[in-house]
Homo-oligomer: A and B are copies of this chain.
Amino acid sequence: MELMQAKGTRDFLPEKQIEKQKLIEKIKKVFELYGYSPMETPVFERFDVLSSKYAGGKEILKETFSFEDQGKRKLGLKYDLTVPMARVIAMNPALRMPFKRYQIERVFRDGPITTARYREFYQCDADVVGSKSMQADSEIIKIAERVFKELGLEIEIRVNNRKLLNGLMQEIGIEEEKTESVLLAIDKLDKTEKKEVEKELKEKGIEERKVKKIFELIEVKGKNQEVLEKLGKKVVSEEGKKGIEELKEILKYAKSYGIDNLYITPNLVRGLSYYTGPIFEVLLRKGKVKSSVGGGGRYDKMIGLIAGKEKEFPATGISFGLDRILDELSEKEKTGRKTVSQIFVVPINCSEKAIELVEEIRSLGIKTEMDLMNRSISKNLDFSSKQKTPFVIVLGEKELKAKEFSLKNMDSGKETKVKFSELEKMKELIK
C-alpha cells in the first residue's frame, strides 16, 4: 500500500489550515455584515439532481464523481454550490424571499490537474434569491469589493450584461444558434490576441463585416457613463436597451454603496450559459498581471427550471475561488507558525504545579501548550521555537517559590516578569 492522498486532493497541515481558517472567517464576516446567512448542503447529491438539464451542463457532468449507495441509488459528489441550493429552494416552499445565503464548502471535479486546479476545492458563494432589483446585484458587487478590502488585496470588478450582449448579437445579425459560441470566443479576448479571436470567429462562419461590427461594439472604451452613452446610441433592440438600463441602475446604486473600482466592460462574457442579466468578474491586480479570483451574475431562470415549478425565482450571486486567494495571501503574509498556541510552558520537575498554573492561564482565554513529553529545557525550547510559538514560560522551583515567572517574546527576545497574582496582564502582553 502506498500512503498517498487521492490524486488532485491536498491535506491542510496546521500551518496552512490556520491561514485558511483566518481567510474563511474574514469572508464570512463580510457576508454576514450584509445579512447573508450560512447554509450547508451534503457533500453528495442524487445524480439526477446534478444531471438535470438545467443544472451545470454536459461538460461539468463529465467531471462529476459518481457512485452508488447500498440501495443502488446513483449519487454524485457536488460540483458546485448553486445546483444544491436550487434543490433546497425547490424542496422548501416555505422559505421566505428574499433568501440570502452563503456557503463556503468543498466541491469536486474529476478533471485534469494543473498547478492551480484540484479535484477537491473550495467555493465561497453568496446569493440573493427572490429579488429582481438591481440593488441586489449592486449589493453583491459591494460584498466583493469589501471582501478584498478586508483581505488587503487590490482588485478591479468588471461588469457587463447578458441582455446587452444578446441584444448586440441580434443587431449585428448573428444567428441565435451561433450566439453562444460567438460569445465564448469573445470571452477569450482577455487571454488571447485579438487576431486569434477574429480568426476563430471567421472559422465559425461569421462574415468579416459582422466580425468588424462586433469589435466596434465590444471595444467601446471610456468612463462607465461614457461607455453606456456610446453604446446607448448604437443599441436599438429592446433587449439591448434593457441591458443598458440595468447597467445604469447598477451604477446608480454603486454610488450609494460607495463602490470605487467598478468597470463596465463590454467584452466580458463569462462562460456559464445560465446568466440572464448583469455579470461580474473580480480580478486581482498584481503589477500588470490580472487574475480572476471570483465572478458571478444574475440567473433569473435557472432555479425555477430546476424546481420545475411555475413560480419564478430571480437570483443573483457571486462565487470566490478560495484556493487562489489563499495562495496570494500566503505569499504576502507568511508567518510560519505551525501551531495556534500563543504560549509554550516548559516545566522543570514540577508538571503538576505547572498544570494548575497553565489551567489558570487558559481560563483567561490564552491558548497555552505545555510539555507532554517530559523533555529537557533545551529540547522543549527547540521544539517551541521550531513550531514558532510566540511566547515561552520556563517554570521551575525558583519561579514557584517567587510566585513569578518570565514571559519571553520569542520574536523580539524581550522578557517580562509576571506575578502569579497578576496573570490577567498577560492578555495585553501577548497581543
Contacts and interface: CB of A to CB of B under 8 A. Distances in A.
B65 A69 contact: yes
A403 B374 CA distance: 65
Contacts of A374: 133
Nearest to A132: B373
A292 interface: no
Contacts of A92: 13
B41 A11 contact: yes
A413 B14 CA distance: 47
Interface residues of A, number: 103
A37 B10 contact: no
A303 to B, nearest CB: 11
A362 B17 contact: no
A108 B13 contact: no
Interface stretch (A27-35, A170-178, A423-431): A27-35
B253 A6 contact: no
Interface in A342-360: 344, 351-353, 355-356, 359
Contacts of A323: none
A130 B37 contact: no
A225 interface: no
A100 interface: yes
B40 A17 contact: yes
Contacts of A252: 352
A179 interface: no
Secondary structure at chain A's binding surface: helix, strand, loop or mixed? Answer: mixed
Contact of A43 (B37, B77, B368): B77
A21 B20 CA distance: 17
Given A34-B369, A352-B253, A372-B128, A11 B136 contact: no
A135 to B, nearest CB: 5
B369 A100 contact: yes
Interface in A11-26: 11-14, 17-18, 20-21
A326 B103 CA distance: 20
A273 interface: no
A42 B120 CA distance: 7
A378 interface: no
Contact of A119 (B69, B355, B370): B69
A106 B43 CA distance: 9
Contacts of A34: 362, 367-369
A11 B88 contact: yes
Given A48-B1, A340-B37, A368-B35, A42 B6 contact: yes
Given A4-B46, A17-B39, A43-B120, 20 more contacts: A1-B48, A1-B52, A3-B90, A5-B91, A8-B69, A11-B39, A13-B88, A17-B40, A20-B40, A34-B369, A35-B340, A35-B341, A35-B367, A96-B383, A97-B373, A131-B373, A135-B355, A256-B353, A256-B355, A256-B359
